[in-house]
Amino acid sequence: MSPPSPETDPRAFLGEEFLTWLWWRSETGEAEYELPGGIRVGVTLDDYLSLGGSAEETDQTLRRGLPSRSVEATAALCTGKRPTRARLILATPEGEWNFTLDGSRMDFLSVKLPEDEEDLDPQALNEWRMAGFDRLVELVDGIYRIFLEDRLSPSFRDRTLPRMRAWLQARRRALA
Amino acid sequence: MTDGRLDPFRRNGSLVRYFLDGELPASDEDILLGLHEHRFRSIERAAGEVTSVGWVSPGDPSGNEFLREEICLPSFLRFRMRIDRKRVPPVWMRIHMEAEIKARGGRRPGPKERREIRADIEEKLLPRVLPTVRLAEISVDRSKGRLLLFGTSISVRDECCALFHKTFGIRLREAGPSELAESFSLPRERLAVLADLRPCELHPWNSGSPAPSSPREAEA
């Protein structure tokens, strides 16, 4: 059985829309999410952003500094490109994860875990790190669920999408 | 005990996650037995085999030993998939091919003859070639039915899915955007929307509707 791929997953675009939604929220003062159990998580874009469109279009990769604030990123969004991969910082009271999320596959690339807890024996250190990767996956899934609830709700087209468009429009005007 | 031979689990890395389409054996013994049955087997001295894939334990990359205390941790299972590939380096193949053609009188061989020469060269050289070794770390949370594979190339994904199925009779479903969405037990009306969902157009000047001139206008 071949694994689903962006070519075979009919809704692979959802992952890219998720990245766009995270980006929009991080720039409009809504970078914090409350997950079940009262866990508060903050997400911001870091220093790597790749934007693309259809398979025939050229991808654009922006690195260093704050690519999400760049003129190039705005221009790419305005031509219909979407973030395909973004480096994210996910912060909780437990610690900070740094990773690149591939939108169309939801793969976690170049993950850096929070600092190790001190004075752990080798076995406990292994478990601590494995739990760190597992925790990251759960936190991102929790935020993806919040995104889906918004994206699949009737209010998305009437409320969220116009606000995202206004955000892009404002960025576009700033180019002029 | 692990007597210090065990590599600590990585702090960095890239990963793919899968849902298990079934339940793993509850007993650690059965898990260890399954891993051992489909353990890695060396192709170092093999003449014909070009790829070998199998499980190894975190502390023994040879595939000979599967210690419970290394693999069955309180919250996770930890093991590795080893993939060895043997291939005659292309430069060597070219050198030997040219020498063989010269020995046969210098006439350029046809495709069939060329394939036969290639097979002969491989048979002669492969036992002398060391395989490339690839180890992919795997962590499984049995209670959540989730597997994390620390390797993202298509070949590693495919090998892992195939070997896992062969070992435990369980299919792995990659948790991409669709699979994840369907795993959340969303309300029925949301799932109905999901079924027919199309990408949304973010840039309003392409969507036919007038763009709001400000965030305030968009709110209104």
Binned at pLDDT 50, 70 and 90, residue B8 comes out as confident
| Per-residue pLDDT reduced to its tens digit, A22-69 | 999 999 999 999 999 999 999 999 999 999 976 677 888 999 888 998
**3-state helix/strand/coil string of chain A:** CCCCCCCCCCCCHHHHHHHHHHHHHHHCCCCEEEECCCEEEEEEEEEEEEEECCCCCCCEEEECCCHHHCHHHHHHHHCCCEEEEEEEEEEECCEEEEEEEECCCCEEEEEECCCCCCCCCHHHHHHHHHHHHHHHHHHHHHHHHHHHHHHCCCHHHHHHHHHHHHHHHHHHHHHC
Instruction: Yes or no: say if B144 and B123 are a contact pair by the CB < 8 Å rule.
Output: no
pLDDT greater than 60 at residue B3? no
Q: Hey, are the CB atoms on B161 and A1 less than 8 Å from each other?
A: yes
Q: How far apart are the first and last CA of chain B?
A: 66
Q: Which residue has the tokens 């093991």?
A: B79
Binned at pLDDT 50, 70 and 90, residue A5 comes out as low
Least Cα distance to A134 among B143, B152, B141 occurs for B141
Percent of chain B with pLDDT over 70: 89
| Per-residue pLDDT reduced to its tens digit, B122-166 | 888 888 888 999 999 999 999 999 999 999 999 999 999 999 999
Residues making up chain B, counted from first to last: 220
Judging contacts by C-beta atoms under 8 Å, the chain A residues touching residue B73 are: 123, 126-127, 130
Judging contacts by C-beta atoms under 8 Å, the chain A residues touching residue B211 are: 165-166, 169
B11 in helix, strand or coil?
Answer: coil
pLDDT greater than 80 at residue B215? no
Q: Hey, are the CB atoms on A4 and B178 less than 8 Å from each other?
A: yes
Q: Hey, are the CB atoms on A78 and B203 less than 8 Å from each other?
A: yes
d(CA A158, CA A146): 17
Least Cα distance to A128 among A139, A120, A138 occurs for A120
Q: Hey, are the CB atoms on A122 and B12 less than 8 Å from each other?
A: no
Q: Give me the helix-helix angle, A122-151 and A13-27, nearest 10°.
A: 90
Q: What is the pLDDT of residue A145?
A: 96
Q: What is the pLDDT of residue B220?
A: 42
Task: For residue A161, give the chain B residue with the closest CA.
Answer: B202
DSSP state letter for B57:
B
Q: Which residue has the tokens 């809504």?
A: A30
Q: Hey, are the CB atoms on B75 and A127 less than 8 Å from each other?
A: yes
Q: What is the pLDDT of residue B219?
A: 45
What average pLDDT is seen over chain B? 88
Binned at pLDDT 50, 70 and 90, residue B218 comes out as very low
Q: What is the pLDDT of residue B147?
A: 98
Q: Cite the DSSP H helix spans in B140-209.
A: 154-168, 177-183, 188-195
Cβ under 8 Å to A: B residues 50-79:
69, 73-76, 78
Q: Hey, are the CB atoms on B215 and A134 less than 8 Å from each other?
A: no
- Kindly state the average pLDDT of the residues A149-174: 93
pLDDT greater than 50 at residue B31? yes
Q: What is the pLDDT of residue B213?
A: 47
Binned at pLDDT 50, 70 and 90, residue B5 comes out as low
pLDDT greater than 90 at residue B212? no
Count how many pairs of residues, chain A against chain B, have C-beta atoms within 8 Å: 178
Tell whether B14 lies on the interface with A, counting CB pairs under 8 A. yes
pLDDT greater than 70 at residue A74? yes
- Kindly state the average pLDDT of the residues B77-96: 94
Q: Hey, are the CB atoms on A168 and B176 less than 8 Å from each other?
A: no
pLDDT greater than 70 at residue B167? yes
Q: Hey, are the CB atoms on B203 and A77 less than 8 Å from each other?
A: yes
Q: What is the pLDDT of residue A104?
A: 92
Residues whose CB falls within 8 Å of the CB of residue A97, separated by 6 or more in sequence, listed in order: A89, A90, A91, A111, A112, A113, A114, A132, A136, A139
Residue A104 CB coordination number (10 Å):
23
Q: Hey, are the CB atoms on B177 and A106 less than 8 Å from each other?
A: yes
d(CA B61, CA B3): 16
Q: What is the pLDDT of residue B214?
A: 46
Q: What is the pLDDT of residue A4?
A: 54
Task: For residue A21, give the chain B residue with the closest CA.
Answer: B202
Q: How far is A154 from chain B (nearest CA, A)?
A: 9
Q: How far is B146 from chain A (nearest CA, A)?
A: 9
Cα Rg of chain A (Å, integer): 17
Q: Kindly state the helix (H) or strand (E) to which residue B18 belongs, with its residue range.
A: strand B12-20
Q: What is the pLDDT of residue A135?
A: 96
Q: Hey, are the CB atoms on A12 and B193 less than 8 Å from each other?
A: no
| Per-residue pLDDT reduced to its tens digit, A98-134 | 999 999 999 999 999 999 888 888 888 999 999 999 9
Judging contacts by C-beta atoms under 8 Å, the chain B residues touching residue A130 are: 9, 73, 75-76, 78, 139
| Per-residue pLDDT reduced to its tens digit, A134-155 | 999 999 999 999 999 999 999 9
> The dihedral of CA A17, A21, A22, A23: what is its sign?
positive
pTM reported for the whole predicted model: 0.87
